Amino acid sequence: MSDTQTPAGTPGAASSDAPSTATAAGNASSAAASSGRSFLPKSTLLRHLLVLVLCAVGAVALLELTEPGTNAQISSVAYYAIAAGGLTLLTGLNGQISLGHGALMAVGAYTTALLLDVDEGEPLPLPLIFLIAVAATALVGALVGVAAARLHGPYLAGATLALAVGVPGLTLYFKETLGGEQGINVRIERAPDWFDEAINAISGENGSQTKWLAYISVACLLLTYFLLANLMRSRMGRTWRAVRDQEVAAELAGISLGAWRILAFVVSAAAAGLAGAVLAIVVRLAAPGSFLPVLSLSLLTAVVIGGLGSLFGALLGSALLVFLPRWASDIGRDSFDIASAQASQAAYVVYGLLLVAVMLFAPAGLVGTVRLALLRRRAARATARAGGR
């Protein structure tokens, strides 16, 4: 039950007793972590803290150097990436597929919208609202997880797809409270003065509302990834991997498979809830049209293309989700004279084909494949050195 297994690189040729090749990136990442890098601290927590600080600095630089339009897109990347991070933990580490994460995001978004939609007086502070949204979604996730823990593969995919199809209908049924087809407009307070001053001090610009929301989104993203990264490297992460690859051994070792699968679903759902909350304030609307099954499929696309089990891969995949449709509609409008809504559909063709291609040719995804190549090269160099002596 260690990380010694090497994922099969040949597509389709994997024998049935080998661990699912789709989750190879999860193994590769832990292998890379255990080999260690000299310039980073030994302790995982310290190392992650250092990375967190570096990323925060980078994010501020990125947000200040780009235009408001790009700021808004970065917010979108952030909420996709938060949900995708949760999903990559569930699917990559624990081997459970979910096509229902879009529906879980809806729970977070509607909770946030309802709590912000107060007729009189001040709404609760935003962090508290986010926490409630996360808790509510985690609770729903626990319910889904109880059922999901007993299903696998296509059965789980079908059941969670049913969730993704069913949940938007609920918002129509309870249209008194949830606003029906139009949804709920999300009212959010203007950015506080200290934010304006801080931005002014950093870049000399004004702290616009878009920028305020972008900072909130990115902060949520960094916090989520920091927590998820530590979780994945912890004993819990190893247990989830064991539950995925070594069902029998794990059970013999006294690990309750069901409980761990439910826990993975809860953690993953919590991330989806936060993603929904961020989505609600960024697009300023919680409506059923935002949570169609295609959202869930897009999230899956992001984590598979990036590399199952890799947070960095989930982030890259999420960036692709935001920028690809835009490029596609630009190209469609400029070169082919197609309406941009129609042209942006080309992005879905690309996602779908990428999903298929990744499964056929590089089941470890982008990050996993690069990592495997690096590991292989390092191993080859090590053997060469050992042989030369």
Partner 1 sequence: MEQFLFLSLSGVIDGLVYAAFALALVLIWRSTRIVNFAQGSMAAATTFIAVALIDNGLSYWLALVVALLSGLVLGAVIERVVVRPVEGGPELNAVIVTLGLFIAIQGAVALIFGVDQRAFVPPVSNRFFQVGDGFTLGLSNNGLYTLAAVLITMVLLIVLFRYTRVGLAMRASAFGQEVARLLGVRVGRMLTLGWALAAVVGSLAGILIAGDVAFISPNFMDTLIVFGFVAAVLGGLDSPIGAVVGGLLLGLALNYVRGYLDDSLLGMAALVILVVVLLVRPGGLFSTTPARRA
| Least gap, CB of 387 to partner 1 (angstroms) | 35
Alpha-carbon distance 101 to 109, whole Å? 12
For residues 169, 153, 93, 323, the Cα torsion angle rounded to the nearest 10 degrees is: -50
Using the contact rule CB under 8 A, the part of the chain among 44-52, 77-85, 207-215, 299-307 near partner 1 is 299-307
| Least gap, CB of 196 to partner 1 (angstroms) | 40
Site membership for partner 1, residue 166 (CB under 8 A):
yes
Candidate list 300, 311, 319, 321; residue touching partner 1; CB under 8 A: 300
Using the contact rule CB under 8 A, the part of the chain among 68-76, 164-172, 186-194, 378-386 near partner 1 is 164-172
Site membership for partner 1, residue 152 (CB under 8 A):
yes
Candidate list 139, 198, 257, 359; residue touching partner 1; CB under 8 A: 359
Using the contact rule CB under 8 A, the part of the chain among 144-152, 203-211, 260-268, 368-376 near partner 1 is 144-152
Site membership for partner 1, residue 16 (CB under 8 A):
yes
Candidate list 110, 215, 312, 351; residue touching partner 1; CB under 8 A: 351
Using the contact rule CB under 8 A, the part of the chain among 192-200, 217-225, 345-353, 374-382 near partner 1 is 345-353
Site membership for partner 1, residue 363 (CB under 8 A):
yes
Alpha-carbon distance 262 to 108, whole Å? 19
For residue 26, give the nearest of 302, 300, 310 by alpha carbon: 310
Candidate list 356, 373, 380, 382; residue touching partner 1; CB under 8 A: 356
Residue with tokens 């990125």: 62
Candidate list 20, 73, 185, 208; residue touching partner 1; CB under 8 A: 20
Q: Choose between 218 and 295: whose C-beta lies nearer to partner 1.
A: 295
3-state DSSP call for residue 185? strand
Alpha-carbon distance 59 to 68, whole Å? 14
Site membership for partner 1, residue 99 (CB under 8 A):
yes
Site membership for partner 1, residue 142 (CB under 8 A):
no
| Least gap, CB of 357 to partner 1 (angstroms) | 8
Residues that bind partner 1 (CB under 8 A): 11-12, 14, 16, 18-23, 91, 95, 97, 99, 147, 150-155, 157-159, 161-163, 165-170, 172-173, 292-294, 297-298, 300-301, 304, 338-339, 341-343, 345-356, 359-360, 363
